Each structure stands twice: as C-alpha cells, then as structure tokens.
Amino acid sequence: LHNGTLAMFEKQGFQRARRIGKHRWVVERMVASGA
C-alpha cells in the first residue's frame, strides 16, 4: 500500500481501478512476468 497523488501514479503508468472513498482510488498497473 502506497500513498501519493492520483496524478503522480497516472504519470507512472497506473490506471484507476475503483473508487474507495470520496477522494480515494485504487490504482493498478500491469507488470511483465519475471519468468
């Protein structure tokens, strides 16, 4: 779990997944498999 602004995460390639509060979002990003 990390905290930061939504814009900061979006600049790093994260996308909004779901809203969990009035001003809170779960963000997600796909990463390549290490295999």
Radius of gyration of the chain (CA): 11
> What's the CA dihedral at 20, 9, 4, 22 to 10 degrees?
-30
- If you count them, how many residues does the chain have? 35
Beta-carbon contacts of residue 28 (< 8 Å; ≥ 6 apart)? 14, 15, 17
DSSP lists the bridge partners of residue 16 as 27
- pLDDT band at residue 1 using 50, 70 and 90 as cut-offs: low
pLDDT band at 35 (very low <50, low <70, confident <90, very high): confident
Show the domain range for 23: 1-35
Total domains in the chain come to 1
Tell which wins on pLDDT, 1 or 20. Answer: 20
Give residue-wise pLDDT tens across range 7-27: 999 999 999 999 999 989 999
